[in-house]
């Protein structure tokens, strides 16, 4: 490490200070910026592919024309009403899941502590099943009950695993245990229902973006944007919390309210996504990791996690639509990819960080 | 963020056993006999309960008359007797497989269901049934064994690579593998819905709908596994002292480990082929057995076998009652009972 010249601070090789005049300045992590750029380009490419491919192929030049306002008849319906909402949903929901994962991993101080691993998804599914099967299944009811169910499950796991903190694999195993019990319970509930409703519930339970239309995407995007704004406002204090309670308090964070607010934001993000398209596993787990891996920053930055989450989910959804002869739920794809990722993580990554 | 991993001293596995509560050979035998009586009692209840609206009197009459082709005979003999037998046999197999696994891995959280062995067997069965259209029982056994073998080796390798310090790491690896395999199974099921429809109840872990010849084949294979387990119980207990001391006591370490692994595969693989992937019995039952008889493996195996049978038969009965008049597969019930148990053990194991 060479001494910084007078008047300048060395922020490290990957960080560049940017100054705008005398007062405004910021330290920018160049690799994080690169990561976000690459993710955005990736999302655009995947979305373009998603617009083109399918039973009714639309060439790229037509897609561009349609998106810039031309009317090409049936192709317009296919692209604007069927394919675009799904692609937009994949990007927005992926980003929301990524942020939610970053928040949960930060609050639990545990790299595996994302909402899907600790039982949140299973709880949200329980709430949604109760709504779909027994209360008529209106979108608002489903959203609220999924929120309540997921929150209750997360709280249960936290309470069961808490022993002066929730770090370590104990938290994860308790989360897995609660998940498994809830999954079995969910299946019981589905078996109780009549065939037609049970089919809806089971399809929902696999995590599917297939039947997404603008009337679902629109309101959800507004809600998610509001919640993501809250997350952005809390982002700085989240990094302070990661220093540990004492250090965070010393740097001026009111710990309990901030932590509670963070948990509320994380729960809301996952629950909103889950209520629309069912539990989609592993995006929330993997996105923050991959963002950290690529950007090399120490904290689980919500922005990078959002970018990677969006890219992950839209890619998985593209694969779910076109990889096999039939359209499979995206949740199945993320489970397979994410399970393999988790195996790799446990085998190599955690071992190395431990030593 | 560093993962807080407990030190070896904090997670000594298996943990110190609570002092054995049943002293002496006579006391343990008495409790074992009581357990067998309880099993008979639960089995009798299993014959009496279920859809079909037969009174207890009618069931007893049918049992006395034998299988004569009447409606009540079909309900009692072809449905209730077979499912009770399957539940008892598979429960025994999974209980002993769990006890063996916990002894061999020295991991209090080991369970064939939790570590992905049954999921591997399940995927193999689904693939063979789907691709080759096989539905006969005996042909399911070999793919199930192969799937169980592959996944066991994979989990073992992962657990080995991740270090042996943490009992939960192995469970995490198992759960990760299980979820990936389950995803593949679900994907396959979605590609060809009609063909896999027949396997759906099997995939949830059900003891229903097996015929007598399948039960006979299952029980022979499982009996072999049980005999092997009891034969290696003593050297396995000595292995718990450490490899060096065990060698000094005359234990053939490699042979014991291979025999143990083969017995686990046989018990868990055949059990899965017969009743689908059923988790948590192998986790719960050995803890109960050790609490009663302490670390002596022969007794632990005997108790685990009997208790496993009782739990699975009881879970099957509960599955018939809980969403009456529909039926829930027994595997769901064992998960609902067993998962909280896992949470409790995980809390304790990580103290």
Q: Give, as one character, the DSSP assignment of residue A300.
A: -
pLDDT confidence bin for A353, thresholds 50/70/90: low
Inform me whether the pLDDT recorded for B126 exceeds 50.
yes
Interchain pair A336, B180: CB under 8 A: yes
Pairwise CB contact (< 8 Å): B346 & A174? yes
Average pLDDT over residues A219-224: 86
Average the pLDDT over A168-173 and give the result: 75
Q: Is A350 close to B169, i.e. CB distance below 8 A?
A: yes
DSSP single-letter state for residue A168: S
Question: Alpha helix locations (H) across A278-329?
Answer: 283-295, 302-322
Segment B50-89, tens digit of pLDDT: 777 777 788 888 778 777 777 777 787 778 888 899 999 9
Q: What are the two backbone dihedrals, phi and then psi, of residue B350, each rounded to the nearest 5 degrees?
A: -100, 10
Rounded-to-integer distance, Cα B82 and Cα B66, Å: 14
Residue of B nearest to A192 (CA): B323
Partner residue facing A188 (CB), from B4, B173, B322: B322
Chain B residue numbers touching A354 (CB-CB < 8 A): 2-3, 5, 163
Average pLDDT (A282-308) is 82
Task: Say if the Cβ atoms of A325 and B346 lie within 8 Å.
Answer: no
How high is the mean pLDDT of chain B? 81
Distance (Å, rounded) from C-alpha B96 to C-alpha B268?
Answer: 9
Please indicate whether residue A169 or residue A286 has the higher confidence score (pLDDT): A286
Q: Do A176 and B322 touch (CB under 8 A)?
A: no
In this predicted structure, the answer to whether residue A314 has a pLDDT above a threshold of 70 is yes
Residues of chain A positioned with their CB less than 8 A from the CB of B326: 191-192
Q: Check A168 against B179: CB less than 8 A apart.
A: no
Write the ipTM.
Answer: 0.78
A170 in contact with chain B, both atoms CB, cutoff 8 A = yes
pLDDT greater at residue B147 or residue B189: B147
pLDDT greater than 70 at residue A298 = no
User: Measured between beta carbons, which residues in chain B are less than 8 angstroms from residue A348?
Assistant: 161
Looking at beta carbons, which residues of chain A come within 8 Å of B322?
188
Answer yes or no: do B347 and A112 touch at CB < 8 A: no
Q: Find chain A residues with C-beta within 8 A of B1's C-beta.
A: 105-106, 109-111, 242, 300
- Nearest Cα neighbor of A223 from A189, A271, A292 is A271
Residue A355 has pLDDT above 50, yes or no: no
Taking CB atoms and an 8 Å cutoff, what residues of chain A touch B351?
A: 163
Specify whether the CB–CB gap between B280 and B113 falls below 8 A. Answer: yes
The predicted structure's pLDDT at residue A302: 84
Contact B158 A325 (CB under 8 A): no
Q: Which residues in B lie closer than 8 A to residue A170 (C-beta atoms)?
A: 168, 346-347, 349-350
Cα B76 to Cα A203, B48, B49, B61, B90: the distances in Å are 36, 8, 10, 10, 20
Residues 223-242 in A contacting B (C-alpha not used; CB under 8 Å): 242
Give CA–CA dist A295/A307, Å, rounded. Answer: 12
Instruction: Check A184 against B332: CB less than 8 A apart.
Output: yes
Residues in A touching B186 (Cβ below 8 Å): 206, 332, 335
Looking at residue B93, its pLDDT comes to 95
**Residue A29 has what DSSP assignment?**
E
* Cα–Cα nearest to B297, from B224, B236, B250, B246: B236
Q: Is the Cβ pair B336, A185 closer than 8 Å?
A: yes
Question: For chains A and B, what is the number of CB pairs under 8 angstroms?
Answer: 165
**Closest Cα of chain B to A239: distance in Å?**
12
Mean pLDDT, residues B312-321 taken together:
91
């Amino acid at each position: 490490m060479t001494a910084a010249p007078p008047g300048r601070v060395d922020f490290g090789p990957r960080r560049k200070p940017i100054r705008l005049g005398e007062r405004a300045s910021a330290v920018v992590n160049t690799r994080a910026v690169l990561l976000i750029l690459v993710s955005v380009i990736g999302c655009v490419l995947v979305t373009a592919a998603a617009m083109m491919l399918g039973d009714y192929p639309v060439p790229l030049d037509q897609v561009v024309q349609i998106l810039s306002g031309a009317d090409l008849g049936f192709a317009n319906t296919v692209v604007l009403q069927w394919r675009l909402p799904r692609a937009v949903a994949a990007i927005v929901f992926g980003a929301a899941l990524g942020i939610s994962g970053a928040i949960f991993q930060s609050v639990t101080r545990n790299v595996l502590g994302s909402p899907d691993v600790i039982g949140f998804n299973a709880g949200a599914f329980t709430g949604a099943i109760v709504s779909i099967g027994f209360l008529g299944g209106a979108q608002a009811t489903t959203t609220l009950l999924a929120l309540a169910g997921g929150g209750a499950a997360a709280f249960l796991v936290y309470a069961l695993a808490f022993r002066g903190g929730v770090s370590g694999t104990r938290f994860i195993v308790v989360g897995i245990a609660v998940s498994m019990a809830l999954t079995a319970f969910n299946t019981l509930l589905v078996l109780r229902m009549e065939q037609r409703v049970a089919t809806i519930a089971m399809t929902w339970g696999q995590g599917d973006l297939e039947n997404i239309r603008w009337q679902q995407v629109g309101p959800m995007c507004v809600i998610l944007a509001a919640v993501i704004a809250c997350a952005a406002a809390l982002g700085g204090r989240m990094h302070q919390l990661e220093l540990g309670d004492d250090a965070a308090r010393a740097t001026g964070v009111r710990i309990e309210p901030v932590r509670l607010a963070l948990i509320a934001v994380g729960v809301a993000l996952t629950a909103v996504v889950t209520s629309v398209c069912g539990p989609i596993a592993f995006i929330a787990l993997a996105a923050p990791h991959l963002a950290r891996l690529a950007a090399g920053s120490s904290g689980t930055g919500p922005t990078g996690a959002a970018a990677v989450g969006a890219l992950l989910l839209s890619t998985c959804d593209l694969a779910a639509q076109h990889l096999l002869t039939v359209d499979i739920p995206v949740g199945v794809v993320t489970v397979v990819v994410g399970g393999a990722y988790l195996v790799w993580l446990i085998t190599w990554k955690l071992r190395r960080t431990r030593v | 963020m560093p993962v807080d991993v407990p030190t070896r001293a904090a997670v000594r596995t298996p943990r110190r056993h609570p002092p054995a509560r049943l002293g002496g050979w006579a006391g343990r035998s008495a409790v074992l006999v009581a357990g067998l009586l309880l099993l008979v009692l639960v089995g009798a209840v299993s014959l009496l309960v279920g859809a079909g609206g037969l009174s207890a009197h009618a069931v007893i009459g049918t049992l006395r008359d034998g299988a004569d082709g009447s409606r009540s005979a079909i309900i009692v003999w072809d449905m209730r007797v077979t499912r009770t037998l399957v539940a008892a046999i598979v429960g025994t197999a999974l209980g002993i497989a769990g006890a063996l696994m916990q002894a061999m891995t020295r991991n209090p959280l080991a369970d064939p269901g939790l570590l992905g062995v049954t999921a591997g067997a399940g995927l193999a069965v689904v693939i063979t049934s789907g691709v080759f259209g096989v539905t006969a029982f005996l042909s399911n056994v070999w793919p199930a064994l192969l799937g169980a073998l592959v996944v066991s080796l994979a989990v073992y390798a992962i657990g080995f690579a991740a270090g042996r310090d943490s009992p939960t790491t192995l469970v995490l690896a198992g759960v990760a593998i299980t979820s990936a395999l389950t995803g593949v199974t679900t994907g396959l099921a979605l590609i060809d819905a009609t063909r896999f429809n027949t396997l759906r109840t099997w995939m949830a872990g059900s003891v229903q709908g097996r015929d007598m010849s399948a039960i006979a084949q299952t029980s022979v294979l499982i009996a072999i596994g049980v005999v092997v387990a009891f034969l290696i119980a003593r050297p396995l207990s000595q292995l718990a002292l450490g490899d060096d001391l065990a060698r000094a006591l005359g234990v053939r370490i490699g042979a014991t480990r291979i025999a143990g692994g083969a017995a686990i595969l046989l018990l868990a693989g055949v059990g899965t082929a017969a009743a689908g992937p059923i988790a948590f019995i192998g986790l719960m039952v050995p803890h109960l057995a050790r609490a009663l008889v302490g670390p002596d493996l022969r007794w632990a195996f005997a108790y685990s076998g009997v208790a496993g049978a009782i739990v699975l038969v009881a879970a099957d009965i509960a599955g018939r009652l809980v969403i009456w008049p529909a039926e829930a597969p027994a595997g769901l019930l064992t998960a609902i009972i067993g998962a909280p148990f896992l949470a409790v053990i995980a809390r304790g194991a990580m103290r």
